[in-house]
Amino acid sequence: MRIMGLDFGSKTVGVAVSDPTGLIATGLEIVRREREDKLRQTLARIESLIEEYEVSKIVLGYPKNMNDTEGERVQKTLAFKEMLERRTALEVVLWDERLTTVEADAVMMEAGIRREDRKKYVDKIAAAFILQGYLDYSGNQNS
């Protein structure tokens, strides 16, 4: 069974999945929506990916502020977590996502991806970083 990583934003959700062994995270896609409050199609797409990849758990990026406080995005993320749990019946683990978007941008810059093209990929790569952080932590806990 695989684990899914999500980077939940105001108009996009970056999606990543692990390999079957739970060692490597790979960015899958970015689910886009017109408005922040329109989540039905987003949730339906995530459910479809869960089924396709036989996902057993979800890791959701937890957007705490750099000073460790919780802002407005945290409340929206917690509401999204509840929706995911209700609709999928899967465990949803919150994972600190601070600096994942910065890391994703840096990796793309290093790879020579033009600035205007980076927006096409950043959320998917950030989701992979969120998931990889969780997988690395989980693997170390089982050693």
Q: What is the CATH architecture assignment of 2-141?
A: 2-Layer Sandwich (3.30)
Three-class SS of the chain: CEEEEEEECCCEEEEEEECCCCCCEEEEEEEECCCCCCCHHHHHHHHHHHHHHCEEEEEEEECCCCCCCCCHHHHHHHHHHHHHHHHHCCEEEEEECCCHHHHHHHHHHHCCCCHHHHCCCHHHHHHHHHHHHHHHHHHHHCC
Q: What is the pLDDT of residue 23?
A: 94
Q: What global pTM score does this model have?
A: 0.87
Q: Does the pLDDT of residue 140 top 90, yes or no? A: no
Q: Higher pLDDT residue, 110 or 96?
A: 96
Considering the chain, what is the average pLDDT of its residues? Answer: 88
The percent of residues above 70 in pLDDT, for the chain, comes to 92
Q: Give the domain ranges of the chain.
A: 2-141
